[in-house]
Amino acid sequence: MNDIIPERNKRPGVCYACTDDGLEIPVIDLTHPAFALDTDAINLDAMINAFVASLERSAKTPAALMRAAAANSILVRGMLDSSDTYTTGIMTYLHKLGPDNLGDGYAGPLDRQWAAGLTPLTFRWRMRDIARLLAKHLRPDLERLPGRPVDLINIGGGPAADSWNALLLLAKAGPTPLRDRRIRIHVLDLDPHGPSFGARAVEALRAPGAPLAGLDVALTGITYDWQDPTPLRRILTELRSEAGLVAVSSEGALFEYAADGDIFANLAALADGAPRQTVVVGPVVRDSATLDPRLRFSEHVPGRPAIRYLGLAHLSDLAHQAGWRVATTLDGPMHQVFQLVRQAG
Domain layout of the chain by residue ranges: 16-122, 126-342
Measuring CA to CA, which residue among 154, 44, 182, 142 is closest to residue 93?
154
User: Quick check: 164 and 186 in contact, CB under 8 A?
Assistant: no
Question: Each residue of 311-331: pLDDT tens digit?
Answer: 999 999 999 999 999 999 999
pLDDT in tens, 31-90: 999 999 999 999 999 999 998 888 777 767 676 776 776 677 888 888 777 777 778 999
- Residue 188's contacts (CB-CB under 8 Å, 6 or more residues apart) are 153, 154, 155, 156, 157, 222, 224, 226, 231, 232, 235
CB of 152 within 8 A of CB of 163?
yes
Q: Which residues pair with 103 in a beta bridge?
A: none
Strands 335-342 and 279-285: antiparallel
Supply the pLDDT for residue 295.
87
CA distance 154 to 254: 10
Residue 303 has pLDDT above 70, yes or no: no
**Sequence-ordered strand ranges (E) for 90-173:** 150-155
Distance CA 302, CA 271 (A): 37
Name beta bridge partners: 185.
Answer: 152, 219
CA 50 to centroid of chain Cα atoms: 24
DSSP character string of 182-220: EEEEEEEES-SHHHHHHHHHHHHHTSTTSTTTT-EEEEE
CA distance 130 to 87: 19
This prediction's pTM? 0.94
Q: 171-224: per-residue pLDDT in tens?
A: 998 767 899 999 999 999 999 999 999 999 999 999 999 999 999 999 999 999
Q: How far is CA 230 from CA 50, 188, 303, in A?
A: 44, 12, 33
Q: How many CB atoms are closer than 10 A to CB 193? A: 18
Q: How many angstroms separate the CA atoms of 132 and 317, rounded?
A: 24
3-state SS class at 339: strand
User: How confident is the model over 85-132, as pLDDT tens digits?
Assistant: 778 999 999 999 999 999 999 999 999 999 999 999 999 999 999 999
pLDDT score for 329: 97
pLDDT reading at 253 higher than 70? yes
Round to whole Å and give the CA distance between 255 and 264: 10
Architecture of the domain whose range is 126-342 = 3-Layer(aba) Sandwich (3.40)
Residues 6+ away with beta carbon under 8 Å from 223? 189, 190, 192, 231
Pick from 161, 159, 141: which is nearest to 150 by CA?
141
Does the pLDDT of residue 254 top 70, yes or no? yes
End-to-end CA distance of the chain: 50
